[in-house]
Structure 1
Amino acid sequence: MKATEQFLNQRACVLGAGVSGIAAARLLAAHGGCVTLLDAAPEARLARARGALAGSGVLLRGGADTLPDEPFTLCIASPSIAPEHPWLRACTARGIPVAGEMELGYAFWRGRLLAVTGSKGKSSVVKLCADALTAAGLEAVPAGNYGVPLSACVLERPALPWAVVEVSSFQLEQVAAFRPDVAILLNLQADHLDRHGSMAAYARLKFRLFARQVAGDLALLPAGMDVPEPLPAGVAVQTFGSGGADWRYSPGRLAGRVGGAPGVLRFAGTWFDNPVLGEAAAAAAGALHACGLSPAQIEAGLAAFHPLPHRMQRLAVHRGVVYIDDSKATSLTALAAALKMTPEPVRLIAGGRLKEHDLGAVKELLAMRVRKVYLIGESTRALWAAWSPVVGCAACGDLPAAVAQAAREAAPGEAVLLSPGCASFDQFDGYAQRGDCFARLVQALEMTA
């Protein structure tokens, strides 16, 4: 039985009025809490949050720059609140216990959990697993960083047998008791180092996903990955990869131990049947097998999968040129994966707010696969300096200018690929807004043809 006492009847402050903060505030209030939800945004921008909280008894305060001087007994921090934020420093100074929204939701969730973390590809694996479980009769909800907050699942769908949770490194900063029945670490690549400081610290956070697992639980890891510290005793560990792993990808097939015996799953022609995504499919197959799905049910889930928006999404073919939205690619590793997945010669739109410093790691791939790079955003100068010796570059400034120039110069049989390799926050509210803008620009090309 999980311990919920620490979250019952608390005088709580919840930091951040986004979707996770709203869900946490509602869940605490439903369990007897006197809850204040704080956000730095002015009151005028919090209408949606106020509507979502109507009738809950939660007090919403906008324009907050300091923690109110009230006798709070608990703080729930949204993942976007960094550990060094003044609000959290004030909690530490005043001895107020701090937990994350996912930890709160976990305490009250009564179903089983399949959790997925990693640097890239989490959302697609979460969607695949949730859809496959539901199609097999084990209804599941996608939750966490993709889907709905786990606290909202508790309030709105408490009887479901499974939640498939995408877990970010930010969420893992605040976990203590969180324990998934099945846990996947897809990969480890340089990401969010501006917050975590080093790859070693980032890796340690990711491995916190397994810290509370017990005998009978399953941990799925990439074959050959270094483990910073031993996993708990009794946890079953399986590996996935392209060779020498418990679950192995090769073109058109996945091999693993199905029902204790060697078996093969066929998935030729699916979205995952390529060297970039195949290993993620192998991890998902191992997880779904552990959840009780048969080989036929796993194959059906892979065959039925439809990719999420802004992830290698082929939008249109205009005058023989294909336009691909991969706005979700916010790192150079993701950009490299997109180039490997695009069979056509590429005219690449890249740039934005850089999250890393080794800009030369993709130069060889750029030279091999890219006809020209169309640079946007605040990283233009840095990317030009790093890449122009090996590939033609154009400083376009913004996305409309980049699409227009790429469309003029692209030849039939080529692809115009938006795979920025950078965050979007210099020019957009997020990668989804950036991708939607790209889609509108492509649609306008077709309308003016």
Structure 2
Amino acid sequence: MNKRVVILGAGESGVGAALLSKKLGFDTFVSDLSEIKDNFRRELDDAGISYEEKKHSEELIFNADIVVKSPGIPDKVAMLVALREKGIEIVSEIEFAARYSKAKYVCITGSNGKTTTTLLTYHILKNAGINVGLAGNIGQSLARQVAEADDKEWYVLELSSFQLDGMYQFRADIAILMNITPDHLDRYEYKMENYIQSKFRVIQNQTEEDAFIYCLDDENITKELERREIKARQYPFSNVTEVRAGAFCHNDEIQIKVKEDVMSVFTEQLAIQGQHNRYNTMAAGIVARLFQIRKPAIRESLISFKGVEHRLERVLSVRGMEFINDSKATNVNSTWYALESMKTDVIWIAGGVDKGNDYSELMQLAGQKVKALICLGVDNKKLLDNFQGVIPTIVECGSMHEAVKSAYYLGEKGDTILLSPACASFDLFDSYEHRGREFKECVRNL
């Protein structure tokens, strides 16, 4: 009997899963509640894959043997609950694709820093000549790459909690957990414990042959580790504590220790600066040493890495003011790192869709560094309630053009204009990328 694979969602991961399913000879159907983008619709047409858009037809979905779900669809949706009650398997695109690939995986998750760490790790491995691909929550989907017979020996995967929630048999050869801070709690019944368990799925199925790299300075991680028996070899990294195996930073020198061998690099040599990037560098550096890449090659890659668009990205200097695009900061902890790394007075642009934010951890930094807050969102009440009396000047704006103009007039030579929203973007923008691009365009038009 021909296996029927139904894919819910026709974005990059959904279309990738559909292409792989079709290639494997399965009866493939794609269903998307929204309108499918033209480029993805063309791909489905060209591949002869049947699909529907702007609806979910139960008679075409409930006859599935397996459902591959977009990470954006919450597990509590009535259709998914009904599918599970019928005993139909529901998996993520990563889980589905990995079943048909012989590759090994470096898997990176965390509330913050995972994109930079993923790209930095990929940069180091690729420069060292390793047959490595990049997938997950970034770039082309894993399923697409497996379908295109572009299967690699290794993949570096950036994994969100939503992707991990749909992964069951998958095993990470090297798992990295950067940090766990409150984020997406609306998807986890506003319970931090549920979110922590989701992040720790990155080490499920690991054996003694595998490696687990994690931040020793993160209280949520260390508390959870006390409750667990970890099979994999452990490599913690820290800005505070010297470790026997792993990495730590002391007096602006990062030391990486793997198998009794020590490698060091000075933070001033790194292309990416700031405390958060020390963590990213330590995690990627441990991976590089596990691969036994030569130390000069690792240093060269660390020095040449250019960073990530929309993550503390320098845009322009206008009238002596630096404009920084940190649109990827969609939670409070990301913004904490951004403000912590600022060396001048800051005009801070923030706001958007609040995900259950607790702004208390930003109070001290905001009081020390921020001279003006520009609230850019449909509903700014929470920002206003928290920062009135902490930040001298607070302005509300309804568009990016208005926000950038206000920042320009409020700023002086030597100030930094920082877009670091601490919120999701969906009230005024399609995505954090759309928000970041608009910011850059408005700055260039000053």
Q: Deviations over 1:148-202 (max 9, x none)?
A: 2111121235342211000110011111111111110000100010001211111
Aligned equivalents of 1:169, 1:36: Cα separation in 2: 26
CA contact (8 A) 1:321 1:416 kept: yes
1:22 aligns with one of 15, 21, 28: 15
> How many Å separate the matches in 2 of 1:219 and 1:102?
19
> TM-score, length-normalised on structure 1?
0.93
Give the aligned partner of residue 49 of structure 1: 40
Between 403-412 and 269-278, the greater mean CA deviation after superposition: 269-278
CA distance in 1, matches of 2:183, 2:212: 22
User: Shift of the alpha carbon at 1:416?
Assistant: 0.7
Aligned partner of 2:75 in structure 1 is 83
Amino acid at match of 1:421: A
Match of 1:182 in 2: 174
Aligned to 2:275: 275
* Displacement of 1:92: 1.6
Q: Distance in 1 between matches of 2:377 and 2:251?
A: 37
Partner of 2:119: 127
The separation in 2 between residues aligned to 1:163 and 1:362, in whole angstroms, is 36
* Residue 115, structure 1, aligned to residue 73, structure 2: no
Contact 2:275 2:337 in 1 (8 A): no
Report whether the alignment pairs 1:39 with 2:40: no
| 2:29 counterpart SS class | strand
Q: Give 1:1-400 correspondences, 5 Å limit.
A: 9-42=2-35, 45-69=36-60, 71-197=63-189, 198-223=191-216, 225-227=222-224, 229-233=227-231, 235-242=232-239, 243-245=241-243, 246-250=246-250, 252-391=252-391, 392-400=393-401
Deviation (angstroms), 1:396: 2.1
Conserved? CA contact 1:193–1:356, under 8 Å: yes
Number of residues paired by the alignment? 435
TM-score, normalisation: structure 2:
0.93
Per-residue displacement from partner, 1:386-405 (whole Å, max 9, x unpaired)? 10111121122322111111
Report deviation, 1:10. Answer: 1.4
Cα distance, 1:91 vs. partner? Answer: 1.0
AA in 2 matched with 1:179: R
| Distance in structure 2 (CA, Å) of the matches to 1:236 and 1:178 | 18
- Between 247-256 and 346-355, the greater mean CA deviation after superposition: 247-256
Unaligned stretches of 5+ residues in structure 1: 1-7
Task: State the 1:371 CA deviation.
Answer: 0.8
Structure 2: gaps of 5 or more residues? none
Whether the 8 Å contact between 2:258 and 2:290 is mirrored in structure 1 is no
Q: 1:261 to 1:142 in 2, by over 3 A?
A: same
1:409, distance to aligned residue in structure 2 (A): 1.9
> Match of 1:277, SS?
helix
Measure the CA separation in 2 of the matches of 1:335 and 1:387: 14
Shift of 1:87: 2.5
User: Which amino acid in 2 is paired with 1:338?
Assistant: A
Give the whole-Å Cα distance in 2 for the aligned partners of 1:405 and 1:288.
Answer: 45
Per-residue displacement from partner, 1:366-394 (whole Å, max 9, x unpaired)?
01001110111124122111101111211
Corresponding position: 1:414 with 2:407: no
Do the aligned partners of 2:380 and 2:396 also contact (CA within 8 Å) in 1? yes
Amino acid at match of 1:294: R
Task: Extract structure 1 runs of 4+ deviating beyond 6 A.
Answer: none
Residue 5 of structure 1: aligned partner: none
- Per the alignment, do residues 191 and 148 of structure 1 end up closer, same or farther by CA in structure 2, a change over 3 Å counting? same
Residue 111 of structure 1, CA deviation: 1.9
Alpha-carbon shift at residue 260 of structure 1 (Å): 2.0
